[in-house]
Amino acid sequence: MIQFNEFETTPEYLQEKLLLIQNSSDYGQALYVSGGGGSGKGFAIKNFLEGNKFKVRDVDEWKKSFIKLAKLKGRNKELQNLDLRNPKDVFFLHNYLKSKGIKEKTFDLLFTDTNRNRLPNVLFDVTLADVKKLKPNFENLQRVGYKPENIHIVWVLANYSIAVRQNKDRTRVVPDDILLATHEGAANTMYNMITKNNLPPGMNGGIYVILNKPKHTIYYTDKAGDPIKNSQGESIIKDFKYITVKKPGKPIRKDAILTDLHKWVIENVPKTELTKHIWKGTNE
């Protein structure tokens, strides 16, 4: 629990709760922030993690950048009029960038001119819907010098129905079938990894699950009950819920904390044919 002097309630004295990766290390950490579309990974990176310490590889952001560049340069006419609120355009852009090998090229750019003895902290904003995609990523990270115990995963677990609503308000709308698939895939990947102790080869860092629900995100407030803002005009977070499933270099926990995690999962992931095994043994 965060402790602070009750007389020191101005923003500069309030300590914001954060999930610290490897004791807030300034370099050498690779973090995968996973979760289905609309889970609020961007919010979690900004508010629950030390996002400013990482080079962030965000697929959504460089998709937007490609459209802007196409308009500015007058090239790639097929991209210039794409609307990322149109699911068909989103699907077209995804396939276009995949055909050009952009994902692999952006990975290499992260490590241009880096010192192997002082590697930057890097963060990957992903769904983890397909665990098979992790293997080449982890192999590449080890190739450039990242240690297995410094490769971590954070699962941002959000209620699927809320994610559906949030998806409609995003600047990039994910098609409904793909949105569902990302939530099913993320749930299966993370649940199987945790319950079966099936870590991807080359990964031995921490595993954390953030419960990203508005009612569990608590802000510091003034005497009137209004949120206290920092110098950037943002509300300061006093508390949120997360579970440490595995510490770096240690085995996955087998204690009662997994019972709590299971409750979180069945309350929030979509119940479909692909996820029904998660409910096995419950009354859901």
pLDDT of residue 2: 34
- From first CA to last CA, the distance across the chain in angstroms is 33
- Helix or strand or coil: residue 187? helix
pLDDT of residue 282: 64
Query: Is residue 140 left, alpha or beta, with left meaning phi > 0 and alpha meaning psi from -120 to 50?
Result: alpha
Q: Are strands 237-239 and 218-219 parallel, antiparallel or unpaired?
A: antiparallel
Please identify every stretch of the chain with a pLDDT value under 50, giving residue numbers as ranges: 1-9
CATH 3.30.1360 fits 28-58+122-279, yes or no: no
116 contacts: CB under 8 Å, gap ≥ 6:
144, 145
Q: Which of 186, 209, 189, 187 is nearest to 198 (CA)?
A: 189
pLDDT of residue 187: 94
- Helix or strand or coil: residue 227? strand
274-to-4, 158, 190, 191 alpha-carbon distances in Å: 46, 18, 13, 12
Q: pLDDT tens-digit profile of 180-205? A: 999 999 999 999 899 888 888 889 99
pLDDT of residue 92: 82
Is residue 271 within 8 Å of residue 265, measured between CB atoms?
A: no
**What whole-number distance in Å separates Cα of residue 11 and Cα of residue 53?**
21
**What whole-number distance in Å separates Cα of residue 28 and Cα of residue 118?**
6
Q: What are the extents of the domains in the chain?
A: 28-58+122-279
- Helix or strand or coil: residue 241? strand
